[in-house]
């Protein structure tokens, strides 16, 4: 069965770049019809979509974060990654990776999430 | 301010029925599929409803979804204490070219 696992530093300094990786197990990240996405949730708040990517490299970004975000995929390692630059305390959140059924479908499989705190 | 509007909270007694609304516009709900997620305390969101009214395998038929024009509704019947969670609606916004979520609704089973 498909599983997603986020990994990366739990603490990032202000103005630095947050880097996270989501490793996919149980199926190929190159499966057609699926996109792969990052979603975050600040403490006590709601969900915010960050970005989505197809295995071929097609990407979609949240307009409010686009200037600071890069999503990429590594099919050889069956994983995809997120980079968020110039972070501030407002970027402190639980970061989830998820599988998206088609670019406008639904997020059907989620990772357990990884907490990232931005602090000096 | 979320693009999709949900009530912050709803409550009902065990065994009763509750509905959660999600209001949007023609650029999102009006022309795209709506999904609903359940987030139990301390856990990742779980897909409850996709394509407006379809349930993934394993989701009981106590959960239902519907859509009309620019609004969607999640219904839960036979409420159980284990249903206490935050519920989020979501959809693609064609104008923003972005996925959008509602602000979430906290369900309390009294």
Interface contact A108-B33, CB threshold 8 A: no
* B68 burial level (CB within 10 Å; 0-12, 13-18, 19+): exposed
CA distance A50 to chain B (A): 8
Nearest by Cα to A109 from A53, A15, A26: A26
* B56 vs A: CB within 8 A: yes
CA distance A120 to chain B (A): 26
Chain B, nearest residue to A96 by Cα: B44
* B90 vs A: CB within 8 A: yes
pLDDT at A32 over 90: no
**Contact by Cβ (8 Å): A103, A35:** yes
Which residue shows structure tokens 């890069």?
Answer: A70
Tokens of A46: 């709601």
Distance, CA of A37 to CA of A61 (rounded, Å): 10
Greatest C-alpha distance within chain B: 40
* pLDDT, average across residues B82-88: 97
Distance, CA of A65 to CA of B97 (rounded, Å): 13
The percentage of chain B sitting over the pLDDT mark of 70, rounded to a whole number, equals 100
Q: How does pLDDT run across A61-107, given as a tens digit for each residue? A: 999 999 999 999 999 999 999 999 999 999 999 999 999 997 778 99
Nearest by Cα to B37 from B89, B93, B92: B89
Chain A, nearest residue to B104 by Cα: A46
* A115 vs B: CB within 8 A: no
Q: How does pLDDT run across B39-76, given as a tens digit for each residue? A: 999 999 999 999 999 999 999 999 999 999 999 999 99
Q: How does pLDDT run across A36-64, given as a tens digit for each residue? A: 999 999 999 999 999 999 999 899 999 99
CA torsion sign, B79 to A100 to A40 to B20?
A: negative
Chain B, nearest residue to A113 by Cα: B44
For residue B22, the model assigns a pLDDT of 98
B47 contact residues in A (CB cutoff 8 A): 106-108
């Amino acid at each position: 069965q498909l599983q997603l696992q986020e990994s990366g530093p739990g603490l990032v300094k202000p103005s630095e770049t947050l880097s996270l990786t989501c490793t996919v197990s149980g199926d190929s990240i190159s499966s057609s019809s699926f996109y792969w996405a990052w979603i975050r949730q600040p403490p006590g708040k709601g969900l915010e979509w960050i970005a989505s990517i197809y295995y071929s490299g097609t990407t979609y970004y949240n307009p409010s974060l686009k200037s600071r975000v890069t999503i990429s995929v590594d099919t050889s390692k069956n994983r995809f990654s997120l980079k968020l630059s110039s972070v501030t305390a407002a970027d402190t959140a639980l970061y989830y990776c998820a599988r998206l059924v088609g670019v406008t479908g639904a997020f059907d499989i989620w990772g357990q999430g990884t907490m990232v705190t931005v602090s000096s | 301010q979320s693009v999709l509007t949900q009530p912050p909270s709803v409550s009902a007694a065990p065994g009763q029925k509750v509905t959660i609304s999600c209001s949007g516009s023609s650029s999102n709900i009006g022309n795209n599929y709506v999904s609903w997620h359940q987030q139990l305390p301390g856990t990742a969101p779980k897909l409850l409803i996709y394509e407006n009214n379809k349930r993934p395998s394993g989701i009981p038929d106590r959960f239902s979804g519907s859509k009309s024009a620019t609004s969607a509704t999640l219904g839960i019947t036979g409420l159980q204490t284990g249903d206490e969670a935050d519920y989020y609606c979501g959809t693609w916004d064609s104008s923003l070219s972005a996925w959008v979520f509602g602000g979430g609704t906290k369900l309390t089973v009294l």
